[in-house]
Amino acid sequence: METLETRGPAGTPGESIFSDGFESPPPAVQLPPFAVRVFNKCAYGPRPGGVAAFNALGANDDARLAAWVDLQLDPDTLADAACDSRIAAANYATDGLTLAQLWSGYVRGAQSGGVERYWPCDEAACLKLLRAVYSERQLYEVMIDFWHNHFNVTGWDFSIAPVFMHYDRDVMRGTHPGSGKRYALGNFRALLEEVAKAPAMLMFLDNKSSRGASYNENFARELCELHTLGAAHYYPTIDPNEVPRDGSGAPLGYCDNDVYEAARALTGWTMRDDHWEFPDLPEYDTGEFLYHAPWHDKAGKYFMGYYILANRPAMADGRTVFDRLCQHIGTARNLCRKLCRRFISDSPPEDLVESAAQIWKAQWQAPDQIAQVMRHILNSSAFKTTWGEKTKRPWEALMQAFRATSADITPKPRTGPWNSYSELTSLFQQTGHGPFRWPTPDGYPDHSRKWQAVSPLSQTWRVLSRLPELRIPGGDENSPSAYFLRIEEVSRAQFPTPALATAGAVVDFWISRLHGYPILPARRDEIVCFLGQKTDPAQAAAVQLTWNNAWNSGALSGHYTLARLRAAVALVAMCPEFYQR
């Protein structure tokens, strides 16, 4: 997109009103309404009617937030019929398949070659998009995204793609059979074990091949460094007995020896992949988790100051390691800092991190541990009073654009020829933030500086400039309902007569729809000038946009083209304010 120039008091020619720089977020004209801030930080932005529904939940902002958080932390009580219907209508081929069926069809069967092999991952990405745009369970969707990043697996890997639907559906979105709580808002210890047993993770970090004296340390290292304690609690190249201790004598962190002992404890945690050492039986080639006792190192172990005795029952050594890690205050601080970073700021207040960590540790066995901590964080004064200290990542910005424009999207996996759905998913990938594509175990970064860089920001602008022109496959370009984004339909509904549809009114409407609050006047005036094709904002604001062949049909008349309207809406979404949360 060519840089627009400022005019008059807004600046001198050559200075861009869209390029304030993102080292620090630009000042907003006013603080957004409280509900808008909540939807930007805890959801993928408000859909039409969302702010009004939020404001009806209580007499003041505190009461509304508390009520909204309680509803969102119990997602099964939220009716989600519209989203469910859209998913059902999409008729995804792999969503209803068990892990064994995925393995049989997409690893061993007819769908194991070509693009079909990737359908389980591709369809998981399609479902992620549908739920982000249409689901009422917005906080749950954000938490799913958080845990996918925390326990990152590259879904598009050749070996992992066929079973990735299981990882997303049954692990990240799964429900604990005992408590009935969803793992993403339930108990972290339960979620951790499900991750460790998931074939996608077993392959990604190589624990499926870890056995006896030939143990593989990859998963055990990331277990300590990323999934639980964090690198801040790592004491490299040190005797395990020399790791500093707290007042109770417990180690403050872990060392390399602890990684090796954890790896030994997890030997034999593998999968049914028809390994040559397994019995030659069909049940050993289903892709499912398998604890294979002959591969387990049964000798005693010394993990983080705790002796694990020899010859314990099946899986007991690994579960002891998980218990020791999950009840450690270092794990509580690491996880709570990441949660506060996601929902508040890149440098969250330490007092909130610590108070959340104390709840996390005290409730480490509670079935709703994660929900308790999230309730504490989201009702904190730090959450309520901060704004603009985070930058939306490309996926978050694009999902908000879909929601605000009443998009009509039912994505499909690639089946062969290139089409608009393929182009849509390709555009996500170009931003550097495509679903399930991060190649390393640390997951997509959650620091603003990463996403303020030229490449991801310019690519996101590029996608936003192209989205309004993307049509549903087979759609007639002259039909407003043929496009993914319903910009023309929404505009016509808002302005039922030509006299109301001035350039200024249309731009102000879309600013309200996409942002929820005013943007800087200079930016607003530039978009009005663009839409009205006038150099003077005052004149441009009065230009009426009319349609040929009566107001309710046809294309925009003359040089006030539909393409210009779409581009103006894209420009509204490119303003720096849109990326604040």
Per residue in 173-191, pLDDT (tens digit) is 999 999 999 999 999 999 9
Residue that is last in its domain, among 268, 297, 326: 326
Nearest to 222 by CA among 212, 207, 209: 207
Q: Is residue 118 one of the residues assigned to a domain?
A: no
Report the pLDDT value the prediction gives residue 473, as an integer from 0 to 100. 74
Neighbouring C-alpha atoms within 13 Å toward the C-beta of 533: 8
Nearest to 502 by CA among 563, 568, 549: 568
Residue that is last in its domain, among 306, 326, 346: 326
Please list the pLDDT of the chain residue by residue as tens digits (581 residues): 333 333 333 333 334 444 444 444 545 446 899 999 999 999 999 999 999 999 999 999 999 999 999 999 999 999 999 999 999 999 999 999 999 999 999 999 988 888 899 999 999 999 999 999 999 999 999 999 999 999 999 999 999 999 999 999 999 999 999 999 999 999 999 999 999 999 999 999 999 999 999 999 999 999 999 999 999 999 998 999 999 999 989 999 999 999 999 999 999 999 999 999 999 999 999 999 999 999 999 999 999 999 999 999 999 999 999 999 999 999 999 999 999 999 999 999 999 999 999 999 999 999 999 999 999 999 999 999 999 999 999 999 999 999 999 999 888 888 765 555 666 777 888 899 999 999 999 999 999 999 998 888 999 999 999 888 888 776 666 666 777 888 988 988 898 887 888 889 999 999 999 999 999 999 999 999 999 888 787 888 888 776 554 444 445 554 457 888 999 999 999 999 999 99
Provide DSSP, 462-520: HHHHHGGG-B-TT--TT-GGGBSS-HHHHHHHH--SGGG-BHHHHHHHHHHHHTSS---
Provide DSSP, 373-433: HHHHHHTSHHHHH--SSSB--HHHHHHHHHHHTT---------SS--HHHHHHHHHHHTT-
Q: Is residue 332 one of the residues assigned to a domain?
A: no
Distance (Å, whole) CA 183 – CA 231: 24
Q: Is residue 146 one of the residues assigned to a domain?
A: no
Strands (E), 227-365: 269-271, 289-291, 301-303, 306-308
Task: Give the number of other CB atoms < 10 A from CB of residue 121.
Answer: 29
Distance (Å, whole) CA 208 – CA 267: 8
Report the pLDDT value the prediction gives residue 557, as an integer from 0 to 100. 52
- Which run of H or E residues covers position 6? none
Report the pLDDT value the prediction gives residue 506, as an integer from 0 to 100. 93
Q: Which residue is it, tokens 């997602």?
A: 75
Report yes or no: 351 and 359 within 8 Å, Cβ to Cβ. Answer: no
Q: Write out the two tokens for 167.
A: 């990882």
Report yes or no: 485 and 409 within 8 Å, Cβ to Cβ. Answer: no
Judge residue 179's burial from the number of C-beta atoms within 10 Å of its C-beta, 0-12 exposed, 13-18 middle, 19 or more buried: middle
Report the pLDDT value the prediction gives residue 478, as an integer from 0 to 100. 65
Report the pLDDT value the prediction gives residue 550, as an integer from 0 to 100. 44
Report the pLDDT value the prediction gives residue 10, as an integer from 0 to 100. 36
Report the pLDDT value the prediction gives residue 259, as an integer from 0 to 100. 98
CA angle (51 as vertex; 46, 55 as ends), nearest 5? 150
Domain count along the chain: 2
Q: Is residue 560 one of the residues assigned to a domain?
A: yes
Q: Which residue is it, tokens 């598009």?
A: 156
Q: Is residue 440 one of the residues assigned to a domain?
A: no
Distance (Å, whole) CA 488 – CA 471: 13
Residues of the chain with pLDDT > 90: what percent?
76
Report the pLDDT value the prediction gives residue 312, as an integer from 0 to 100. 97
Q: Is residue 20 one of the residues assigned to a domain?
A: no
Judge residue 416's burial from the number of C-beta atoms within 10 Å of its C-beta, 0-12 exposed, 13-18 middle, 19 or more buried: exposed
Q: Is residue 499 one of the residues assigned to a domain?
A: yes
Q: Is residue 562 one of the residues assigned to a domain?
A: yes
Q: Write out the two tokens for 342.
A: 């996601």
- Range of 288's domain? 205-326
Report yes or no: 245 and 293 within 8 Å, Cβ to Cβ. Answer: no
Report the pLDDT value the prediction gives residue 377, as an integer from 0 to 100. 98
Report the pLDDT value the prediction gives residue 5, as an integer from 0 to 100. 32
Neighbouring C-alpha atoms within 13 Å toward the C-beta of 518: 9
Residue that is last in its domain, among 326, 349, 374: 326
**Global pTM?**
0.92
Distance (Å, whole) CA 48 – CA 170: 31
